[in-house]
Amino acid sequence: MTNDNEDKILTQLREIHDDIHALRLCITGDKLKGVVGVVDVLETHRRELYGNEATKDVGLKDLIAELQKRIAVLEADRTRIYVGATALSASVGVIWAVAKHVFGK
């Protein structure tokens, strides 16, 4: 009887050991076997989001900040161009009115 109980317990322990090994493989992955784990996926997403200092890769957060600054600069340029065009148009209108008034008579 004790051998049957011991065999059952050893069988259950082997199953638990295999399950733990499978879970560890899912979590950490195995680069030699080409198995991607959860930690690898999270590290890849972290590098994409924040960048990688070792390889000088720019992350999405830095890229978004740079693009927002660029958009602000372009908006300021657009406003400056509109103001300049309006001032130029008004100047031409005033010069035209003065010239018409002076030379029109």
Q: How far apart are CA 90 and CA 101, in angstroms?
A: 16
Task: Give the containing element (helix H, strand E) for 51.
Answer: strand 51-52
Condensed to tens digits (0 to 9), the pLDDT of residues 39-79 reads 988 988 888 888 877 777 788 888 999 999 999 999 999 99
Condensed to tens digits (0 to 9), the pLDDT of residues 83-103 reads 999 999 999 999 999 999 998
DSSP class of residue 59?
A: P
Backbone φ and ψ of 94, nearest 5°: -70, -45
Q: The whole model's pTM is what?
A: 0.58
Backbone torsion region of residue 30, taken as left when φ is above 0, otherwise alpha when ψ lies between -120 and 50, otherwise beta: beta
- The count of C-alpha atoms lying within 13 angstroms of the C-alpha of 13, restricted to the half-sphere facing its C-beta, is 6
